[in-house]
Amino acid sequence: MIPMVDLKTQYLELKEEIDRGIIDTLDKCQFILGPNVTAFEREAAAYLGAGHAIAVASGTDALHLALLAAGVGEGDEVITTPFTFIATAEAIRYVGATPVFVDIDPATFNIDPARIEEAITPATRAVIPVHLFGQPAEMEEIGEICRRHKLLNIEDCAQSFGGSAGGRLTGTIGDLGCFSFFPSKNLGCYGDGGMVTTESPELAERVRLLRNHGSRVRYHHDLIGYNSRLDEIQAVILRAKLKHIEKYNMGRRRVAALYGKFLAGTVEVEVPFEDGRGVHVYHQYTLLTDFRDRISESLADAEISSAIYYPIPLHRQKVFHEDCVNLSLPVSESVAGRCLSLPIFPEMTHSQVEEVTAVISALFR
């Protein structure tokens, strides 16, 4: 069996350090906003080159609290991509704003900057580019549009920890960066976790207040906040893994290069495009093919996992139907109907990649 991701192998490599840190936390009985959370925030900010990093309970909360901290709310519009996990748009709805979906670039699967400007209205307050599958969005163009129209630029970095664009790591390019530490992510914990990054001391302080019931001092509440705090045990795990994130991302890039090499002659599939202006960290390795069902069924017969991220773009989801009933986004719809993600994880072996690609290539001989 070849899984989509192998969390067990990574844990076994770090087992001694992780177990020791968890036992130490249990001995000290300090579980909420303790020393490991503080240390992880400092270490993550240093790695990313961010002025501030605030750990929260999930990637969805990171987006929600970032929007709240930036003052986005009722009557506002936020431009984003329909080809992403629903959390991106959910967070916009949480604050009372309206997600405005624009089409994607067929090469990168990311929001198409050329489509953003035509969607701007007097109600537009922000753009949320998603660095999908670990491929950084076109941040130079998006940043210029945001500056010209005085819009917030809030990066969804849920799948791109360690990726870069224009020499800067994702999460440090826009006004705010929002990360997920879901277990399967490039940097993942063993539960839910997230983080917000920013250069603004004011935005950072507001996120800190929002994550902890609006409180700086215990039982003193400056605003209505939320319970969105990364716990100490998850911080222990993230601190251990953060030391190896470069190795993990290089491992993913190694696997992606092997896939590209072995699938180069299979014209029935389109392998991922890598923008030379940035560093793709391959949270997913996603093909485009007109033979998706045939490939996935053959892989399953060979006990090889595959997945579809994402089969229904957000503007076609029932929850957004009322706002998007007449909206046609042909690139997103085409990609959603043709995409297929193959197994990828840092520890994946050369022979495992050969096994996956042999099954695919054999279908078209």
224 and 98 share one domain? yes
What's the confidence (pLDDT) of residue 344?
98
Whether 323 is in a domain gets the answer: yes
φ and ψ at 309, to 5 degrees? -120, 100
Residue 316 lies in a domain: yes
Averaged pLDDT for residues 55-83: 98
| Together in a domain, 228 and 264 | no
* CATH number of residue 160's parent domain: 3.40.640.10
Q: What is the pLDDT of residues 116-135, one digit of tens each?
A: 999 999 999 999 999 999 99
DSSP states along 284-348: SEEEEETTHHHHHHHHHHTTB--B-S-SS-GGGSGGGHHHHTT---HHHHHHHHHEEEEP--TT-
Please say which residue of 219, 242, 265 terminates a domain. Answer: 242
Tens of pLDDT, residues 311-347: 999 999 999 998 898 999 999 999 999 999 999 999 9
In a domain, 213, yes or no: yes
Please indicate, yes or no, if residue 2 is contained in any of the structural domains. Answer: no
The verdict on 203 and 341 lying in the same domain is: no
- Cα 240 to chain centroid, rounded: 20
Express each pLDDT in 205-238 by its tens digit: 999 999 999 999 999 999 999 999 999 999 999 9
The CATH number of residue 332's host domain is 3.90.1150.10
Number of domains the chain contains: 2
pLDDT value at position 323? 87
pLDDT band at 277 (very low <50, low <70, confident <90, very high): confident
Average pLDDT rounded to a whole number, residues 241-265 = 97
Last residue of a domain, one of 242, 266, 290: 242
Whether residues 172 and 319 share a domain: the answer is no
Are residues 109 and 99 in contact, defined by beta-carbon separation less than 8 angstroms? Answer: no
User: What is the residue range of 227's domain?
Assistant: 7-242
Q: Is residue 118 part of a domain?
A: yes
d(CA 128, CA 161): 16
Minimal CA–CA distance to 274: which of 155, 115, 114, 105?
105
**Under a CB-based contact definition with an 8 Å cutoff, are residues 78 and 178 in contact?**
no
pTM: 0.97
CA 247 to chain centre: 19
Q: Positive or negative, the Cα torsion across 167, 171, 172, 175? A: positive
Residues 267 and 342 grouped into a single domain: yes
* Same structural domain, 77 and 121: yes
Closest to 210 in 3D by CA, of 196, 191, 198: 196
Q: Which of 27-31, 54-58, 258-262, 274-278 has the lowest average pLDDT?
A: 274-278
Quick one: 126 and 266 in the same domain?
no
- Regarding whether 250 and 232 lie in a shared domain, the answer is no
**Which residues, at least 6 apart from 147, have a Cβ–Cβ distance to it below 8 Å?**
none
Dihedral sign (CA 83, 84, 86, 88):
negative
Among 181, 208, 242, identify where a domain stops: 242
Do residue 255 and residue 334 come from a single domain?
A: yes
**Pair 206, 226: CB distance under 8 Å:** no
Residue 309 CA to residue 85 CA, distance in Å, equals 8
Asked if 157 and 260 sit in the same domain, the reply is no
How confident is the model at residue 150, as a pLDDT?
98
Q: Are 139 and 154 in contact (CB under 8 A)?
A: no
pLDDT in tens, 147-206: 999 999 999 999 999 999 999 999 999 999 999 999 999 999 999 999 999 999 999 999
237 and 251: one domain?
no
Residue 177 lies in a domain: yes
What are the helix (H) ranges across the chain? 7-28, 35-48, 59-69, 87-94, 113-119, 139-149, 201-211, 232-242, 245-263, 292-301, 321-324, 330-338, 350-362
Examine the domain organization and report whether 211 and 253 are in the same domain: no
Residue 1 lies in a domain: no
In a domain, 343, yes or no: yes
pLDDT (0 to 100) of residue 122: 98
